[in-house]
Each structure stands twice: as C-alpha cells, then as structure tokens.
Amino acid sequence: MVDPIPNMRELAAQVSNWGRWGDDDELGTTNLITPERVAAAAALVRTGDIFDLGIPLDSNGPQPGGFRINPIRLMSENGQEQMFPGGFKYADDYIFMPLQAGSQYDSLAHVYYDDQLYNGFPATGLTVKGADRCGIHTQARGIAGRGVLLDVARHSGVDWLEAGSVISPAELDDVATAQGVEIGPGDILLIRTGWRAKFVAERDATAFMSGEPGLGLACAAWLRERDVAVIGSDNFAVEVLPGENPKAALELHMVLIRDMGMTLAEMLDLEQLSAACATDGVYEFFYTGSPLKFTRGIGSPINPLAIR
C-alpha cells in the first residue's frame, strides 16, 4: 500500500519553525548547529581523509541553459602585451554564472508562497537589489558540524535511482538502520541517489535536468522530527521530480525553505565519500561548507568537504 501524499499546507503548519528562534530570525534550522555540536562533530575526524563534495565549476556541468547555465570563465589577462619592469607578468580571469550553478546552497529567500518568506517576512523585500531578509549572506558564519550520509542508491543495489523515484521516510529509516547510523539534532544530512554518477557516466545534461529521484513530501515531517539542520543531495533539487502532485511545483522546496527554514545543498558529488563509507561502515563525518558572502544573494556556490 502506498502512503497518501500529505497536503502541502497542512504539513507546512505542522512543521513550521516560524518564531522558534525569534521573530527576526533569518537563519532557520542552522540555529541547530550549536558550538557544542560542532565541537562534538570535530571528534568524528579519525583518519584525516578529506573528501571534496563539490562538482567542477566549468562549462562541462549539468546545467545546459533555459533554467540555468554552467559557469562561463573569461581570461582578462594572460601576460601577453604586458610591459612591466623586471619582466613581471600576470594572469587574471573573470566568471559569469548563476549563484546557484554547480554545488550550491539555496538561501531562505529562494522560494516562497502566499507572498511570505521564511518566518513571515514579506516577499515584497525581494527586489532588483536582492533579498532584504534571509539572503545567503546570513549564513556566512559557515555551515559545519556532524555530517551523515544515507546512501539510498547503494542500499537499493543500483548505481542510481530512476527519475521519479520517491524516497519515503520509511526508506530513510531502512537505510539508516542498515548503515547503523542515527540522525539527530543539528545534523547535516546528505542523501545519495546516484544522480551525479548518472551524469558522469552519460554526460547528458538534458537528461540530468529533466527529472530526478529524490525525497517525497512526507520527508519534511521526518526531517522536522529529527531537527536536521541542513539537507543535501547529489541531484539538483533534493526532492523527487516530476513531483508527487501534478498540480503543484516543488512542494518540498516550499515546505523546507519557506516553512521550516531549512538550507538545501544541491548537486553534490558523493561518490568517493560513499565508497569510503561503504568500505569501513562509518557513515558519519565532520562536514564543512561555507557559502560565499554575496550580500542579499539568493544562493551561493560552495565547495563542501567531508572529513573522516
């Protein structure tokens, strides 16, 4: 029997964090990453092995245009025609890209409905100047703490889940139990669907962006019950696409960001990390990944690291 899909607005009311950390709060669930939890997470470093979870910022990425493009890097200087004393020459370059290209965080100003952002801030604060509340710069203190990987693809015995595959709360529980790991308050939870592996194998950006496996809407309550601080995945939207409700778009995005105040990390590369975790059976680690401090920005590229 398939569990019924929750009503988005009813679910939003149940999991809302509005006012939990004060009426002026713009951090949302990253408030759960306390100094005590960061210090405890540091003790998870055993071997010192560092895993780069970010994808390359170049023209070969999975965003072919339409919605977003891959980064465009331009050389402004390469030393030619330069005449400085003593033979000095230099190279310089510029980049043009969406702030949500490659591995990135969504700010709490990224999505909204009923003309309100997280914590009830009016959406009229989103102007041509950017977000006057909940911009990505509010997270610039950094996101670091206990990371946990739930390797759903490996648990399912596949290289990657198929587009449209819904990951349910029960499946998250099954994977956690099989891996012998618990998810708790302040955790940065990473979900491996294998979708990055599919792109690397096929190099088909259109297929990558046309749909994806991901979390179902019911997972919002599961994340709220465990007080997860940040949710990330190797797909481009964390949630399943096409969505469960054909009459609505990105409902999990709306509930997580607008109602729960949860930062999303998208398009991560979890392949090497997942292999290491499967080898020794340890699925927790120290995670660190800071956004760039784009004032009033809606998102930011990141270079997240898992340190074991």
Interval 5-30: pLDDT, tens: 899 999 999 999 999 999 999 999 99
Q: Which residues of the chain have pLDDT under 70?
A: 1-2
Round to whole Å and give the CA distance between 270 and 288: 14
Round to whole Å and give the CA distance between 269 and 283: 15
CATH no., domain 8-70+98-307: 3.50.30.50
- Can you give the pLDDT at residue 142? 85
- 14 bridge partner residues: none
Q: What is the pTM of this model?
A: 0.96
- Can you give the pLDDT at residue 186? 98
- Can you give the pLDDT at residue 2? 62
- Can you give the pLDDT at residue 187? 98
Round to whole Å and give the CA distance between 126 and 118: 12
Question: Do residues 27 and 138 make contact, with C-beta atoms less than 8 angstroms apart?
Answer: yes
Enumerate helices (H) and strands (E) in the chain, giving the number of each: 9, 15
pLDDT per position as a tens digit, 137-174: 999 988 999 999 999 999 999 999 999 999 999 999 99
Which residues, in sequence order, are CB contacts of 10 under 8 Å at separation 6+? none
